[in-house]
Amino acid sequence: MEYNFSGVYTLRDYVKFNRKLSRKNTIIRYICGIVALAGLLFVLSPEGQINRIIDKPSILLYYVFLFLFFNAGVAFLELFTVFRYRKIYRSDKSASSERKYRITNETISMAIDDTSMRTIGKEKIHKIIPEADRVYIFDSLVSAIIIKKSFFPSEEEFEEVKNFIINNFNNK
């Protein structure tokens, strides 16, 4: 069986892929920040004074404000990463170029503007992450071929290719 199709990545696709890559790190950093704030509460408070802090609305309000400030910082960093991703995306000459895909029983190939070709064999696939509107085919921890639903004329064709990839290439 062989499938041939083509499509173009957008900035939104690039951002979504990079967020998928960094999701685990973002969650870990957020949890570490919450633990650090809780630790700060206990370190700055004299022993046995925690109940007094919770009972005093002004001090408790201070820590709630600190928590909200921390969350605003995390949101700002997320916004900053979108600007960084945009800069990287625009600097890549082939980022918005058309990609041509060829999927056979043994390999998945992607050509960009007939200038570069990337082929992944079954044994080189690290993991496959199917989603409702796309499939990520990782050949390493940070590199993937992305196949989007919009590359196909119909949803049925996308589902057929997605199921073929999952059934034929998912060796995990």
pLDDT tens for 118-130 read: 889 888 898 898 9
Give pLDDT, residue 156.
93
Catalogue all structural domains in the chain, each as residue range(s) with its CATH number.
3-9+97-169 (2.30.29.30), 11-91 (no CATH)
Do residues 108 and 165 touch, judged by C-beta distance below 8 A?
yes
Give pLDDT, residue 57.
61
Do residues 13 and 148 touch, judged by C-beta distance below 8 A?
yes
The number of C-alpha atoms within 13 Å of 33 and in the hemisphere containing its C-beta is 15
48: DSSP letter: T
Do residues 162 and 3 touch, judged by C-beta distance below 8 A?
no
Rg (CA), the chain: 23
Characterize 94-119 residue by residue with b for buried, 16 or more Cβ atoms within 10 angstroms of its Cβ, and e for exposed. ebebebbbbbeeeebbbbbeeeeeee
Low-confidence stretches of the chain (pLDDT beneath 70)? 24, 41-61, 171-172
Do residues 142 and 21 touch, judged by C-beta distance below 8 A?
yes
Give pLDDT, residue 43.
66
